[in-house]
Structure 1
Amino acid sequence: MDSSRALVVEDDADISSVLVETLQAAGFKVDIARDGRSAISACQANEPDLVTLDLTLPQMDGIEVARRIREQSDCYIMIVSARADEIDRLIGLEVGADDYMLKPFSPRELRARVAALFRRPRTGVETSAAGSADSPGASPETRSFIACGAGLVVHPERREVEIAGNVVDLTRIEYDVLELLARNLGRVCTREEMVRSIWSSELAHDQHLVDVHVANLRAKLRKHDPVTWIHTVRSIGYRLDYAGDSNGSRPSGGASPTARLDWAKEQFRP
C-alpha cells in the first residue's frame, strides 16, 4: 500500500487524527476533509484509493457523499460511523460502500479490514454500450465482476467466487449454478431452466441434480458467512437475492442510484 492514497472524511479532530495515524502507519499518503462537500472535491482532485467516511457530516450527509463518490470513482469506501442502526449500514452498502465500521473502533481492526479490502483488487473496467463495469447503470453481463451484497462477489472472467475477500472453493458445477443465479439477481430461475443452462436439454427431466448442487453450494457459502443468499421458491426453483434479502424486489442493476436508495430505505426500515 506504499503508493496508495487515502482520504479521511471526519469532522471530529480527535477521531480524524487516529484515522490518519493508522492509515499512515499502513503506508498510505493521507488527505483530510472535514465536511461532505470538501470530501467530494478532494476525491475529484486527489483520486484516492481508499476513503474512510463518517456519516454525520456538516453540509452533506455521509450517505449522499458515498453515493456521489461512487458515481465518479471505484475507490474503496469504508464507512466509520457511530450510527449503529441496521438501516444505516444497509443503505451505506447499497449506495456503494465496501465496508462499515462502528465507532469506537480498534485501529488494529481498521488496518485489518483495509488490508482485506485491498486483497480484493478491482478487476478493471469493461466498457460497452451499457456502460462501464463500475457504473451504477451497468448490467451484470457488462461488469467484470458481479457484486451480490454482503461481501459476495462473482468473477466470471476467472471463474472465482469471493466472500469478504476469501476465495470459496467450489466445483465447476457449483460455480456454474452460482454464476447463473448471480446473473439473474432477484429473479427466480426454474429448475428446468437451470438444468438446460448448466447441463443439457437431455437431462432436463432430472431436476434433482439442481437440488443436490444447490445444497452443497449453500453449505460452502455458509462456511464463510451465515448470510442466506440463495432462496428456495417452492415447486419452482431458486433465487439469489442481494445481500440475503428475501423479498426479491430489489431494483435491477440498471436502476438509478436514487431508485436503489429509495428501495433500500423502504425495505430495511425498522
Structure 2
Amino acid sequence: MNAPADELLTAVIIEDDPEIRRILSQVLEAAGFTTVSADNGLDGVRAVVTHRPLLTTLDVTMPGIDGFEAARRIRAQSDTYIIMLTALSDEADVVAGLGAGADDYLLKPFRPRELRARIDAALRRTGVRPLQGGAGGPAPRSSEAPSPASARPGTATTPVAPAATASVTSSPAPEGADAEWLVHRDLRLHPEQRVVQRGGEELDLTRTEFDLLEALLESKRRVRSKADLTLILRGESFATGYYVGDADRRAIEAHMTNLRRKLGDSAASPRYIETVRGVGYRLTSE
C-alpha cells in the first residue's frame, strides 16, 4: 500500500565523514525526508531498527563494522532501500556490496544531483511521495542517532511491486491465493505477494533482485538490455532520453551475478536466465 502523499518519511544516514553527512542530509531533506545520522556501522544498524526508515545511505569504509557487514545486519531485520556509498570501484567490491543486501550503489566522490536522482528512483520504485517542507507542512529535520531507548520510531512503509507490462504465464496458485504467478520451468514468482519459489522452495531475494527477475519473467524470450533493466529499476521504463552510464550497467551485472547465484543458475550453462552477448538478458528456452 502506498504511503499517504502528505506523510513525512525517514531516512538514515550512516557515514563517518561529517562533511559528507551534511551533504547527504541536505539532499535528503530537500527530497522531503526527515533524517537520522550515525557515524559508525553499529549505531547505524541500531538507528535503522529503531526508526524503520524508507531509505538508508550506507558508507562502506567505517570504523567498527564496515558497510558490507552493516548491510547484512540491516537486511536481516529491515527492507529499507539501501544506497551504498563507496570509493571502491572494482566489480568484486560492487558485487560484494549488492550481495550484502544493498539496492543501489554510488561511487565517491558523487554529485548531489546524481544522489537526488537515485533517491527519486527509489521513491518511484516504492510508490511513495514524501511531504516537502513548506506549503503549510512540517519541514524535514535531521538528528544524530539517539540510543534505542530514547528514540522515537520513524515511519514504516511497505514497498509495492511494479505494475506488469507484459502478458503473464499463469499456473494454479497455492491454496488460499487467487492471483496469478509468473512461471518459467520450476521457477515461480508472485508479483503482489513478492514471493519467489524454485522447485517449491521459497528464495530470499533483495528488492532489486526480485524486480529484475520479475522484468525478465514478464518479457519471456524478449531480450532486455542493461539500459532497459536500469530504467525499470528507476521506475522510468516508459520514458526516453534518460541517461544510463557505465556504472549503472555494472550494477545490473552485479545484481544479475547475485541473482543467478541464488537461483543456482550458471551463466555458462543457464537454466533460467541466459546472456545475449553484447545485448542483454532473457529467459532460456523452455
TM-score normalised per structure 2? 0.51
Deviation at 1:56, TM superposition (A): 0.3
SS of equivalent residue, structure 1 residue 180 = strand
Give the alignment partner of residue 225 of structure 1, picking from 223, 229, 243.
229
Deviations 1:69-102 (A, max 9, x none): 1111111111011111112211221222111111
Deviation at 1:217, TM superposition (A): 3.6
2:166 maps to a residue whose letter is: L
Deviation at 1:186, TM superposition (A): 11
Contact kept, 8 Å, 1:186 with 1:249, in 2: the verdict is no
2:77 equivalent to 1:72: yes
Deviation at 1:246, TM superposition (A): 10
Give the alignment partner of residue 113 of structure 1, picking from 118, 126, 135.
118
Distance 2:36 2:263 in 1: 35
Contact kept, 8 Å, 1:242 with 1:250, in 2: the verdict is no
Cα gap change, 1:171 to 1:45, in 2 (>3 Å): closer
SS of equivalent residue, structure 1 residue 224 = helix
Cα gap change, 1:173 to 1:73, in 2 (>3 Å): closer
Higher helix share: 1
1:115-134 alignment runs, 5 A limit: 115-121=120-126
Q: 2:182 maps to what in 1?
A: 179
Deviation at 1:46, TM superposition (A): 1.9
Cα gap change, 1:52 to 1:221, in 2 (>3 Å): same
SS of equivalent residue, structure 1 residue 5 = strand
2:51 maps to a residue whose letter is: N
Distance 1:42 1:105 in 2: 24
- Greater relative contact order structure (CA < 8 Å, 6+ sep): 2
Give the alignment partner of residue 60 of structure 1, picking from 57, 65, 84.
65
Cα gap change, 1:76 to 1:248, in 2 (>3 Å): closer
Distance 2:17 2:53 in 1: 21
Cα gap change, 1:246 to 1:118, in 2 (>3 Å): closer
Distance 1:29 1:74 in 2: 18
Q: 2:149 maps to what in 1?
A: none
**Percent of matched pairs sharing the same residue:** 37
Distance 2:39 2:119 in 1: 21
SS of equivalent residue, structure 1 residue 44 = helix
Distance 1:77 1:26 in 2: 16
Q: 1:45 maps to what in 2?
A: 50
Deviations 1:244-265 (A, max 9, x none): 349955366xxxxxxxxxxxxx
Q: 2:87 maps to what in 1?
A: 82
Deviation at 1:53, TM superposition (A): 0.3
Cα gap change, 1:67 to 1:221, in 2 (>3 Å): same
Distance 1:247 1:120 in 2: 19
Contact kept, 8 Å, 2:188 with 2:198, in 1: the verdict is no
TM-score normalised per structure 1? 0.54
Deviation at 1:35, TM superposition (A): 0.6
- Give the paired residue count: 176
Contact kept, 8 Å, 1:186 with 1:248, in 2: the verdict is no
SS of equivalent residue, structure 1 residue 84 = coil
2:248 equivalent to 1:244: no
Q: 1:257 maps to what in 2?
A: none
* Structure 1 unmatched ranges of 5 or more: 124-143, 146-152, 162-168, 189-212, 227-240, 253-270
Cα gap change, 1:187 to 1:49, in 2 (>3 Å): closer
Distance 1:48 1:244 in 2: 26
2:228 maps to a residue whose letter is: H
Distance 2:221 2:115 in 1: 29
Contact kept, 8 Å, 1:36 with 1:62, in 2: the verdict is yes
